[in-house]
Structure 1
Amino acid sequence: MKRTNSEEKRFSGGPAGRTPVVGVVVARTGRLARLGDPLAYVMDLLAPKLRGRLRLVGRDSRSTADGARRAVRELVEAEGARIVLTLAGTEVLPAVADACEEAGVPCLSSTFPWQVYHYGGGPRRWTFHFCWGLDDIAETFAGLWEAAAGPERTVGCLWNDGPQGGWSRHPEHGFAPAARARGHRLVDPSPGYREPAATMADQVAAFRAAGADVVTSAATGADLGLFRREAARQGLRPRILTCSRWLAYPPAPGDGSAASVANVATLVYWTPAHPYRSSLDGTTAAELADAYERATGRQWLQPLGLAHALIEVAAHALATAADPASPESLAGAIRATRLATVAGPLDWTAGPVPGIATVTLAGGQWQRGREHPWELVVVDNRKVAGLPVTGALLPPEAP
């Protein structure tokens, strides 16, 4: 694709001169602001270390698709961003990717199951992604169900009527076919509940009628808490409860969701115990988590490792591209990337589909902690070499 003179000037580095600009779409306001915290932190952490190699420039997505598209335009047109990075949600991340496709600027993203990213969008020439898959979540959760209750369980599926539920039950690319392939029977009161839920009485009744002794979910903390209270009222006592999505995060103090996480099992994609180091300076996962807690006074979050890896890959692409001023060359450099990062090994040459690198999952559970009120304990490490098990799988607590 031939670029006009104005496009070439815009892509040459922006008003700050020749130092390449890496644009970052980061949620600083709105409902995804918590997800933006680790990305904002690693920007501040790495900016001095990368001075002279690249310049990190952020724009607030405002946690909306329109805000994300506006942020991309500002980064590309006003700042001359050569690569755009983001960690985002169901509506924001596709908006960033689509805006980068329209602008012809390489984009790198994470924290979004790769099937949703790949099959849920249009043709992708300029955008790249790394994450686990819906099938990986199903495999991880099925291993936990089997450890707690045995093989071939009847599993109640607490899925909403939105994108999370739709993709979870997708017949080809979703969670459901991978779980059924392990011999589990899924009870899914379709089309799912409207979020935020007003009641979970029908879902609990359906699970009880089917004899479900395992429940899996992608609910928010508030909706999961509502379900657990209704389950207790109706006498449904699952032997294990698994939840992805927001349960990858510790409950925020005072947000009312603490009771919803008690002994809930979830996916584990990054912890201080993971045996990974930064490709930039050798910082370990443990050192990164400790630095975050000391600097912010808050508990480390799983996206911290992925946020750091976004910037590692961007720096690697700029350093290895034959012509770092060319978007085609930068896209080719990402496509050829095989890099050991603080989030683990990332390999775009061996992805399940073009433009995708995968992240390996472990199984964990939120249990009462010593340093923090709730701590993510690794209970299944079979797929992550060098990751220690830090606790045993416990039955869910009564709400």
Structure 2
Amino acid sequence: MKTAISKAILSRRQFVGTTLAAGSLTFAGRAAMAQGAETIRIGFVSPRTGPLAGFGKTDGYVLDRAREALAGGLEIGGKSYAVEILDRDTQSDPARAAQLAKELINAGIDLMLAVSTPEVINPVADACEAAGVPCLSTVMPWEAWYFGRGAKPGEPSPFKWTYHFGFGVGEFLKTYVSQWSLVETNKKVGVMYPNDADGNAVRAALAPQLADAGFTIIDPGAYETGTTDYSTQIALFKAEGVEIINTFPIPPDFAAFWRQAAQQGLTRQIKIMQTAKTGLFPSDIEALGSLGSKISSAAYWHRDFPYSSPLTGLSGQQLSDGWEAETGEQWTQQLGATLSLLDAGVEALKAAADPKSRESIRDAIAVLNVETIGGQVDFTSGPVPNVSPGPIIGTQWVAASEGPYKFDYLVTENATDPNVPVAAKLIPYNE
């Protein structure tokens, strides 16, 4: 299967000629321009380097697939358009994300796409809102996007140009209650929520709902990103006898915390180590060595999702197999998440009355209701305006039964999307 897909990818690349450089037009796109077609320009912003690089690692591969699919342009309303994707790396720096967004806006993009974490998405969305440019984003809790940018509960949305799809606190709650019921515990949960957009959103919204669901929340308070000593938090968790830990840190912070937890004996009492924002990718887990096995995570996309990309025609398995065949590296959930953003963005362009009108694109996003490789994106019935909710699925990293990779990433529950098949039982961390 991998060999066939790899050959298909190579043959497509030989035909199309790949891209000239990051953000450039395909040769076919240039040919369409030479024939007089107007060009739709899409800005794409993600973290390819820096502390959040795991989120952007597969973006180049996915963008190649998208550019191949768009090489012949788009036919919209009986008119042909070439499509140019200008992708930029934020280097995991929010200030750089804002600057790149402004540069792309000044370059005349018609649509902005932003992916992965508040450190990328929020500054890009704010720049687009200020400039009147339609922006679509995914891969961060929607509460951190909506309320973190100034919206108020119960009040009309202040956003006219920016839209976000994906999981929120409600999905985390369903997933965690479902996941944590799979192992018998004392229901004491030690939380590690940082002082950032994600941490503050889940502390305010998720922690009280977990308490209402019967869990005792042990919260040592917000910590600052980049903290190197977690002895105070670890001592509290040991003293309180917590058996579940829930975290929302950037990967380096979690690695430091969990290594110290092992050194100070905390890991021996933990039955469920539930990560979010880290523990999402093989590299996060492999970096922990033996401490990575049996860490619980949650997937905003998994190769077992039973959906296909309307842009590329690829299923989740095909997308993952293609990545592994080309790179020799294990698939990650970001593959499908990034492609779902491109799926939704292109579907919005196709639905726009005029894809060269920012207002028209904005209006098309506002009523978008399409199936992507990540599932349904529906802005007609969200929890708040400008938001379409999405699933997050309980998962666990376990030692692979056979190669070539060290760990398997298995689905353990599916409360937020029953269409996703459950593959394994959750194993206690300290078992």
**TM band (smaller chain):** 0.7 to 0.9
Counterpart position of 1:19: 39
Contact 1:139 / 1:179 at 8 angstroms: preserved in 2? no
Q: Give the counterpart letter for 1:102 in structure 2.
A: A
Q: How far apart are the structure 2 equivalents of 1:130 and 1:374? A: 29
Q: How far apart are the structure 1 equivalents of 2:313 and 2:100? A: 31
- 1:24 deviates by 0.9
1:246 aligns with 2:274: no
Q: 1:357 to 1:209 in 2, by over 3 A?
A: same
Q: Deviations over 1:223-263 (max 9, x none)?
A: 43444444445443112111111111222597x33344221
Counterpart position of 2:413: 380
% identical equivalent positions: 32
1:202 aligns with 2:214: no
Q: Give the counterpart letter for 2:139 in structure 1.
A: T
Q: How far apart are the structure 2 equivalents of 1:98 and 1:314? A: 18
Contact 2:251 / 2:277 at 8 angstroms: preserved in 1? no
Q: How far apart are the structure 1 equivalents of 2:163 and 2:207? A: 25
Contact 2:45 / 2:88 at 8 angstroms: preserved in 1? yes
Counterpart position of 1:153: 187
**Structure possessing the higher relative contact order (Cα contacts under 8 Å, 6 or more residues apart):** 2
Counterpart position of 1:34: 54
Contact 1:155 / 1:185 at 8 angstroms: preserved in 2? yes
Contact 2:285 / 2:293 at 8 angstroms: preserved in 1? no
Counterpart position of 1:7: none
SS in 2 for 1:381: coil
Counterpart position of 1:305: 336
1:55 aligns with 2:64: no
Return the match for 2:144 from 116, 127, 130.
116
Q: How far apart are the structure 1 equivalents of 2:228 and 2:343? A: 43
Q: How far apart are the structure 2 equivalents of 1:46 and 1:157? A: 39
Q: How far apart are the structure 2 equivalents of 1:238 and 1:205? A: 13
Judge which range, 101-110 or 68-77, deviates more: 68-77
Q: Deviations over 1:235-294 (max 9, x none)?
A: 43112111111111222597x333442211111221111101112243211111111222
Q: How far apart are the structure 2 equivalents of 1:264 and 1:92? A: 26
TM-score calculated relative to the size of structure 1: 0.88
Q: Over aligned residue pairs, what C-alpha RMSD do you find?
A: 2.3
- 1:185 deviates by 1.0
1:97-136 correspondence to structure 2 within 5 Å:
97-122=125-150, 123-136=158-171
1:268 aligns with 2:299: yes
- 1:59 deviates by 2.3
- 1:360 deviates by 1.1
1:212 aligns with 2:219: no
Q: Give the counterpart letter for 2:100 in structure 1.
A: A
Contact 1:129 / 1:355 at 8 angstroms: preserved in 2? yes
1:75 aligns with 2:104: yes
1:88 aligns with 2:108: no
Give aligned pairs, total.
Answer: 378
Q: Give the counterpart letter for 1:73 in structure 2.
A: K
Q: How far apart are the structure 1 equivalents of 2:223 and 2:357? A: 47
Judge which range, 126-135 or 289-298, deviates more: 289-298
Contact 2:175 / 2:415 at 8 angstroms: preserved in 1? no
Give the unaligned 5+ runs of structure 2.
1-32, 75-82, 151-157
Q: Give the counterpart letter for 2:203 in structure 1.
A: R
Counterpart position of 1:10: none
Contact 2:174 / 2:416 at 8 angstroms: preserved in 1? no
Give the unaligned 5+ runs of structure 1.
1-15
Q: Deviations over 1:131-180 (max 9, x none)?
A: 10023223312222222125x7111112233433322211xxx2212211
SS in 2 for 1:147: coil
Contact 1:225 / 1:260 at 8 angstroms: preserved in 2? no
Q: Deviations over 1:58-93 (max 9, x none)?
A: 122232222222222222222x21101111333221
